[in-house]
Amino acid sequence: MLSIVNQRRALFSGLLVFLIGAAAAVQGLQYPLGTLANIGPGAFPTGIGVLLALAGLAIAATGWQIRSREQDDFAPDWRAWGCIIGGIIAFAVLGIYGGLVIATFALVFISALGDRQNTVVEAAVLAGAMVAISVVVFWWALQLQMPLFGWG
């Protein structure tokens, strides 16, 4: 059963996300939206604002159904924090010296190890898949000016 404190947290956090999204959508409407062929400067903030508002409503609605743990105190998982921060640092360093492929692999691999249920093989497979996706999206489609491989 969900405690009253957790119910209120879910409700208020969902409403806060909704309000931020609605404010972004309203502010985005101050700029021209354009057309699908020629997107205007207001299309992106309006679209993101609407998506954020919908996510806020989903958080508030599903917060009532979440089963809480026996304790309300939450101890942070330091392994997860360390792996995620380590992955970001590895991406920043390897992005300069190793290129997009190596930096993305390191980021996803190290971050995936933060989940205690992931094995090294699963983390490597996930990292490989994300490398393939990032090469297609960022290097090929968006033509990001970052070399695939580079050693300085």
Residue 26 is assigned to a structural domain of this protein: yes
Mark whether 46 and 83 lie in a shared domain: no
Q: What is the pTM of this model?
A: 0.57
Q: In the chain, how many domains are there? A: 2
Mark whether 94 and 123 lie in a shared domain: yes
Mark whether 102 and 47 lie in a shared domain: no
Q: Which domain holds residue 104?
A: 78-141
Q: Name residue, tokens 């300085």.
A: 152
pLDDT tens-place string over residues 31-85: 998 887 888 888 889 999 999 999 988 888 876 565 444 444 556 788 888 999 9
Mark whether 20 and 52 lie in a shared domain: yes
Mark whether 40 and 10 lie in a shared domain: yes
What is the Cα–Cα distance from 56 to 18, expressed in whole angstroms? 4
39 bridge partner residues: 34
Mark whether 49 and 87 lie in a shared domain: no
pLDDT tens-place string over residues 116-126: 899 999 999 99
